[in-house]
Amino acid sequence: MVTSRRVVDRVRCDSPIVLPRWQRIGVVADTHVPHRLPALPAQVLDLLRDCDVILHAGDLESPEILAQLGRIAPTYAVRGNLHWQYSTGTHDQDLPLSLCFRAGPHCIWMTHGHLRFRFSLVDKVQGWQARRQAGGINRLLIARLAVYRPRDANIVIFGHSHRSCAVWHGGVLFFNPGSVCALGERAPEESARVGVLCLHEDGHIEPTWRLLSAQVDANHDPALSRA
């Protein structure tokens, strides 16, 4: 009897963007401008001003904010999941689904987190169920991204959940900077923030978050965990 076996189409990182070896990487996600916020908050620019490069993990939704970020440091971005706003003409769907970077010994893979349209639909349902538990939706996304990530990626950056986290799983850091658009929500589940990854000369990776009103030390933040 012949049986079939599902083969995972793992992402390949054949032509990575080369970044400096040791640096401070600003990470942003889920800005949702102009549909949830009228414009990119000026404080985002202030919080990222000391970064050497900026990565946006999708759901911009207006690509025009990349020019603002680009005036601070070289900026790279991926597209978010498909929203109804696509019909308005203001969207980020022309950006790549994922990007790979090399920074010294590190291979960084960035994607929004949904990967496919059908996964976006599943995330809507499972997301509401997982929100009862802190970090529940991120656990679902990390399980997916762990399967599809490039084999040599030791840092995975994603968004989509609007919840920050830094989880080490199988020797890989899964980092979500949280959302900026929470600033425009009446009762956000988490305060608006951006993330920063410091790549040290000894190979150590230091994840932190910066609130739009204060700076958060990752060593004392409940979003920081290991798996």
Percent of the chain with pLDDT over 70: 74
d(CA 72, CA 76): 12
Distance CA 201, CA 203 (A): 5
Query: Is-above-0.95 flag for pTM?
Result: no
Query: What confidence tens digit (pLDDT) does each residue in 127-149 have?
Result: 555 555 556 789 889 998 999 99
Q: Which residue has the tokens 């899964």?
A: 174
Is the residue at 56 inside a domain? Answer: yes
Least confident range of 79-88, 113-122, 208-217:
113-122
174: exposed, middle or buried (Cβ count in 10 Å: 0-12, 13-18, 19+): buried
Q: Is residue 5 part of a domain?
A: no
In-domain check, residue 12 = no
What token pair was written down for 67? 């020019």
pLDDT of 224 > 70? The answer is no
Q: Are strands 17-19 and 75-77 parallel, antiparallel or unpaired?
A: unpaired
Which stretches of 91-157 are DSSP H helices?
117-130, 136-148
Asked if the structure places residue 6 within a domain, the reply is no
The pLDDT, as a whole number, for residue 129 is: 53
Structural domains counted in the chain? 1
In a domain, 101, yes or no: yes
pLDDT tens digits, residue range 88-119? 554 566 788 899 999 999 999 999 986 555 45
Residue 10 lies in a domain: no
Residue 29: CATH number of its domain: 3.60.21.10
β-pairing, 98-103 vs 155-157, is unpaired
Residue 40 within any structural domain of the chain: yes
Question: Residue 11 falls within a domain, yes or no?
Answer: no
Q: Residue 132 is part of which domain span?
A: 17-226
